[in-house]
Amino acid sequence: MAPFGGIFPIAPTAFSASGDLDLASQRRVVDYLIAAGVDGICILANYSEQFSLADAERDTLTTTIIDHVAGRVPVIVTTSHYGTRIAAERSRRAEAAGAAMVMVMPPYHGATLRVAEQEIRDHYAAIADATSIPIMVQDAPMSGTVLTAAFLARLAREVPQVAYFKLEHGVAADKLRALVALGGDAIAGPFDGEESITLLADLAAGATGTMPGCTTIDVLRRTWDLWHAGDIAGATAEYERGVPLIIYENKLCGLMATKALMAEGGILASEAPRHPYRPLSPEIRAGLVAMARRLDLLVLRWAA
């Protein structure tokens, strides 16, 4: 099987205004992303408000989404937890539901609880023992854990299922380049994240996948295709059209950018996050929508 790569956006979790799961909206999210031309979908990540979900809700969402995708694209399920046993069991259940891969942050809790490299290695090894699908390490600022390129390359060699890496911490392009050089064939998929905010530099460094939010999928699709067709100038021009919105999302909106634009476009019935996460202020939301309309983004037109 060919390695997974391309555009794998983080799907939002759809909630009603009262905070319940909205599975009808969730299915529309899936259909929109596939219509937009994504190569796969990642669910239950930080941008999916995974930190606000009970495990029973995680199972409901995993089953609902994978069943609705129905094999049209691969689905990556985030199964992070500080507890190794819980992360392994979440991963086992995700595979049983049909996940193509699991994505896992290194174990951490709160602002101060971190673990050493040996325990991180053993954490991922236990998840590999519980599953037979690929594992992606999410090197995210939220974990507060320093994962060097040398350690990640060693982890890939020692635990072969750990072959994918989403690098968002520090200068992603430099770490991607170092990881590819150090890991060689053990690295099946070096990805970037952070709303694809450094995509062109990361592609030049060897990235084979990206995990953005869902706001600029059509811009990123064209950018990706132009780059891989050898039209670097065209890819750069297309990407630069979307950069102001990507920066606005990254610096001012966070996960709420996707929810606001999907609600504005009729994909989500409600853009509500789950309390206590704060919704966008009216002023920030208005600026986001205005930028999206100037770009004529598909997220505002697809459900019309």
Active site residues: 166
The angle, 0 to 180 degrees and rounded to 10, between the axes of the packed helices 149-158 and 172-183 is: 40
> Tokens 């790569």 map to which residue?
5
Q: What angle do CA 80, 85, 90 make, to 5 degrees?
A: 50
> Tokens 């002023």 map to which residue?
283
Q: Is 6 helix (H, G, I), strand (E, B) or coil?
A: strand
Closest CA to 61 of 77, 85, 82: 77
Which tokens hold the place of 269? 């019935």
Give the list of residues 6+ apart from residue 203 with CB closer than 8 angstroms, or none.
Answer: 227
Q: In the beta sheet, which residues pair with residue 6?
A: 209
Distance CA 2, CA 256 (A): 34
Sequential DSSP letters for 54-95:
-HHHHHHHHHHHHHHHTTSS-EEEE---SSHHHHHHHHHHHH
Give the list of residues 6+ apart from residue 61 with CB closer than 8 angstroms, or none.
Answer: 13, 21, 26, 43, 44, 53
Taking CA atoms, 286 is separated from 184, 282, 302, in Å, by 46, 6, 20
